[in-house]
Amino acid sequence: MLSTKEVPSLSSLFSAFASITASIMFLQSMVYQILPHQVRDYLISILRNLIFKAHTPTQIAFVFDKESAFGGLNQIYEAASVYLQTLRGPGNKRLNVSKSLKEKGLIIRLETGETVTDSYDGMELQWRFVCSRSEEDRDSPGRGGGGNRQCYELSFHNEDEGKVCDSYIPFVLDSAKTIREERRVLKMHTYSPSSGMNWQSVNLDHPATFETVAMDVKKKTKIMEDLNRFVKRKEFYKKVGRAWKRGYLLYGPPGTGKSSLVAAMANHLKFDIYDLQLANVRRDSELRRLLLATGNRSILVIEDIDCSVNLPDRLHGGEEKKSDPQYDKNSINGTSLTLSGLLNFVDGLWSSCGDERIIIFTTNHKERLDPALLRPGRMDMHIHMGYCTYEAFKQLASNYLEISGDHHHLYGEIQGLLEETPVTPAQVAEEMMKDEDAESALEGLVDLLKQKKMKGDECDHAKVDEKKWQIC
């Protein structure tokens, strides 16, 4: 303990304080007398900046509430929820894990209070998930009902604010979009009037891809390039004043793989499929309503367009029907489905109600279609789905029998038979499924092709004999 002699007296402390104050006043007086005012102001500004920076925080935070200030979900919040699933830090002790029937994998999110660090373009950024309940939050923007507030906090150095706004946040939005597309569960939508005038959907689990579709390699490549070019040309379609859509006509005999090609296109683009049977649509107004109910990034399929329904005004005797007053009345009032209504649906004003859409017509008899459906601008690409070629056969052999290349001793004979015998890929695939042994399956296919060739030769001879008999 200090002795009483060592403790300074109150008078000595007061004397010391007075001396220091007098010295400061003397220095201040000397500075004002000696230094010009410009120099004084410059030194004072430097001192103030040093003091300000010492007390100014170097980190700032952006807060992304679940609900936007204008109502509805906050796009950045939703994107952060998806993007942060790809980040994991050693300090994360609690994570929220869930899975639904519509998701392909586990959904892993940050729990309340957990943080994770991200690096981007030389910046270090820290994300934190916050879920709080407060009576004061009830009526504030970005808060859910009952005072429940959910948000993400993004902290970073204050000097990086411009780069975060201009570059990092758009990067998070784009990354989240890519992740969603990779995890998206495709849907097949069908329509039936008995379903309450709505589309009904099921998961699209069709395994067809462009790698497994049995068709000419060059044709497959051309289709894939066309699809890839289409999805990248949003600005181009906007610039030229056209709806962002693409039309395909698939035509050829039954069993040539039209449905498999549609599924491969959907799996390639990650587009939902809307399967529309025109026989279930009674009037043009109903068709328009169905179009408005389809989503973007989708494929609308109308199969067997040549025989699904008899459209009144241009197909097969339509002029006689147009003379019927009752027909005219129904067409004007929209109480029947007409070809003009379908055409307006394909490339008229109603076709622009939505983006990134593909329309596919399929038919077994292209020659039966009304020329109006084939006009350029409606069906942009006509794809012939023909009989099985040697290239398609090799793809089927790889799919079903796991035979790669073309070195099997029966391939030469099969190639010759395929060039002379019309057979569909479906018939070839069915024959390959009859036996698990590759050798036996190929021998069965050879027998099938020989039988069909023999029947074809007999038909040709019968036609020749018939012509000779008619001449006689």
For 404-415, what is the mean pLDDT?
86
Residue that terminates a domain, selected from 384, 400, 420: 384
If one counts the domains in the chain, the total is 3
- Domain range for 168: 59-133+148-183
Are residue 218 and residue 359 in the same domain, yes or no? yes
Q: Quick check: 315 pLDDT over 50?
A: no
Split at pLDDT 50, 70, 90, the class of 149 is confident
Q: How confident is the model at residue 393 (pLDDT cuts 50, 70, 90)?
A: very high
Average pLDDT, the chain: 78
Residue 43 within any structural domain of the chain: no
Q: Give residue 193's pLDDT.
A: 76
**Both 86 and 164 in a single domain?**
yes
- Residue at 14 is within a domain: no
Token pair for residue 95? 């994570």
> What per-residue confidence (pLDDT) applies to 114?
81
How does pLDDT run across 177-229, given as a tens digit for each residue?
888 877 778 889 988 777 666 788 888 888 899 999 998 889 999 999 999 99
pLDDT (mean) for 152-166: 91
- The reply to whether 351 falls in a domain is yes
Domain-located, residue 324: no
Asked if residue 33 is part of any domain, the answer here is no
Judge if 71 and 179 occupy the same domain.
Answer: yes
Q: Is residue 25 part of a domain?
A: no
343, 363, 384: which is the final residue of a domain? 384
Query: Residue 104's pLDDT band (boundaries 50, 70, 90)?
Result: low
Residues 6+ apart with CB under 8 A from 448: 423, 427, 431
pLDDT over 70 (residue 371): yes
**Are residues 245 and 345 located together in one domain of the fold?**
yes
Mean pLDDT, residues 397-422 taken together: 89
Query: 441 and 346 in one domain?
Result: no
**pLDDT value of position 329:** 43
- Residue 364: which CATH number? 3.40.50.300
200/252 same-domain check: yes
Residues 91 and 178 in one domain: yes
Residue 208 near residue 267 (C-beta atoms within 8 A) = yes
Q: How many CA atoms lie within 13 A of 316 on its CB side?
A: 8
* 34-43, 338-347, 379-388, range with the lowest pLDDT: 34-43
Q: Do 202 and 178 have their domain in common?
A: no
Q: Which residue has the higher pLDDT, 293 or 2?
A: 293
Residues 270 and 363 reside in one and the same domain: yes
Do 366 and 463 fall into the same domain?
no
Percentage of the chain beyond pLDDT 90 is 30
> Would you state the pLDDT for residue 88?
72
Shared domain for 342 and 365, answered yes or no, is yes
**Are both 363 and 232 inside the same structural domain?**
yes
- pLDDT band at residue 89 under the 50/70/90 scheme: low
| Model pLDDT for residues 429-467, shown as the tens digit of each residue | 999 999 889 999 999 999 999 998 888 755 554 444 444
The region of weakest confidence among 22-26, 74-78, 126-130, 374-378 is 22-26
Q: Is residue 83 part of a domain?
A: yes
pLDDT tens, position by position, 33-74: 676 766 666 666 776 666 555 555 678 889 999 887 777 788
Q: Is residue 458 part of a domain?
A: yes
